[in-house]
Amino acid sequence: CLTLNIYAVNPPASSKQPVIVFIHGGGASGGSALSPPWNAATPLASHAIVVTVQYRMGLLGWLVNPLLTAESPQGSSGNYALMDQIAALQWVHDNIAEFGGDPAKVMIVGHSWGSVMAESLLASPAAAGLFSAAAMESAVFGGGLIGTTIDNAYRWYADVPGAVGCDTAADVLACLRAVPADTLVQSGPNSADTGWVNVDPVVLPEDPALKLQRLGSPVPLIIGSNSDEKAFDNTVFLPALDASGYAAIIHTQFDALAAGAGDTILSLYPATDYTNPNYALSAVESDLYFTRNTRNFARAVSGAQRPPVWRYLFTHTFENPAPQDAFLTLAGAFHGAEGYFIFGSFQTLFTSVPYTPSDAEIALSNEMMGYWVRLAATGDPNGSGTAPWLPYDDASEYILQLDNNIVTLGGYRNAQCDFLSTLPTRGF
């Protein structure tokens, strides 16, 4: 399950190049580095060596079981996907010079669930020293969600042996290991409501979010999200809402979390402020699951005497979708949209029809690639005459808005995020 895809210029540059190691998303149980835009890294590879990682997912990547823990010399089980990524980083450290890369200038970049992996790698002692910069795109795993010991994770997977007919076997582990991989990964407990990362003695001895809040990021960090992360859930594919339908959904979702929460949300996100109530709902849930967690994490890990943090907000809407992709004009800056610009890859979006970026989009892509590559190369995304990107802290809240006109914001939906932060934590 563990393979690396390496993109390098040919012939190699005369000097060692910075390296970007990309970790794909997919909710811990899906996704692939061979899906667009990650599978077409040639534009980004003209500026840096690019490595994309295929790693174990689902039960193959996360199964925690006391029998596995008992047979481990380290008293550990689970986190196999994270171990894969650490093994990949170790391989890059040992071998990337053969491809023209500089092992001292390795940046990890994670998108969605891959961002949670980057967060975990930042906190993992087993990954220390294997990278010099990081970027977390569109996901933060909140603190206090995974318990304090490996025992807390056993319940997440307790029904796995029974689901594949191994619960009554004389040797449960031997039985599990005889189950075809396809059967195992398609079993019920493989779903996203399993525990994902867990505290274990070797790879992740402490809750990653809490450790990073306590100590800060060990390396310079880019972190951000998109303005319309939940657009596909709430805008393109849902029936049109009227104001009363929107209010009903808000009350159902939020009144159970805190008394009067629904009314507060409706006052912070009035339907009249948006194109239609669907967009208001998209804004609420984009902020609930992404913006507030990104803001809270950036606030917690930044500060004096710590490596700098740079926060972005991607707000661009694709300008030239083919008729088959016309729904993209409704989706705005949807979850994953920034990846096409960071990779400079526009061959296909959702259908097989090639996408033709506008001149402004090509310019935006080049600027974004520049920021990411400069962080990998120097530990600072600034330079080359691009718009200055000021470091983030909880006083100034400088955010670089990534769109055709790149500008600096002094905060984004602060009142909304302040209230949302009083509600129970969501994973990402």
At 188 the pLDDT is 64
pLDDT tens digits for range 25-72: 988 778 888 888 888 888 999 999 999 999 998 889 999 999 999 999
pLDDT tens digits for range 136-152: 999 999 998 888 999 99
Under a CB-based contact definition with an 8 Å cutoff, are residues 284 and 229 in contact? Answer: no
pLDDT at residue 370 above 80? yes
Catalytic sites, residue numbers: 112
Query: In whole angstroms, what separates CA 295 from the centre of its chain?
Result: 14
Residue 108 pairs with which residues in a beta bridge? Answer: 21, 134
Residues 20-24: what's their mean pLDDT? Answer: 97
Confidence band for 428, pLDDT divided at 50, 70 and 90: low
Residues 149-166: what's their mean pLDDT? Answer: 91
For residue 289 the two structure tokens come to 């699951």
Residue 225 pairs with which residues in a beta bridge? Answer: 313
Evaluated on CA atoms 92, 97, 100, 102, the torsion sign reads: positive
pLDDT at residue 190 above 70? no
Residues 296-301: what's their mean pLDDT? Answer: 96
pLDDT at residue 218 above 70? yes
Confidence band for 427, pLDDT divided at 50, 70 and 90: low
DSSP letter, residue 425: P
Helix (H, G, I), strand (E, B) or coil at 53: strand
pLDDT tens digits for range 203-214: 999 999 999 999
Compute φ and ψ for 395, nearest 5 degrees.
Answer: -90, -50
Closest CA to 250 of 271, 231, 236: 271
Angle between helices 261-268 and 243-254 (to 10 degrees): 130
Confidence band for 192, pLDDT divided at 50, 70 and 90: very low
Q: DSSP string spanning 238-252?
A: SPPP-HHHHHHHHHH
Give me the amino acid identity at 42: T
Distance CA 302, CA 290 (A): 18
Closest CA to 401 of 390, 414, 417, 385: 390
pLDDT tens digits for range 392-408: 999 999 999 999 999 99
Closest CA to 368 of 224, 217, 219: 224
pLDDT tens digits for range 103-122: 999 999 999 999 999 999 99
pLDDT at residue 185 above 90? no
Residues 244-254: what's their mean pLDDT? Answer: 96
At 281 the pLDDT is 96
Kindly report the pTM of this predicted structure: 0.95
Quote the mean pLDDT of the chain. Answer: 93
Look at 372 and 181; give whichever has higher pLDDT. 372
DSSP letter, residue 153: G
Q: Is 424 exposed, middle or buried (0-12, 13-18, 19+ CB in 10 A)?
A: exposed
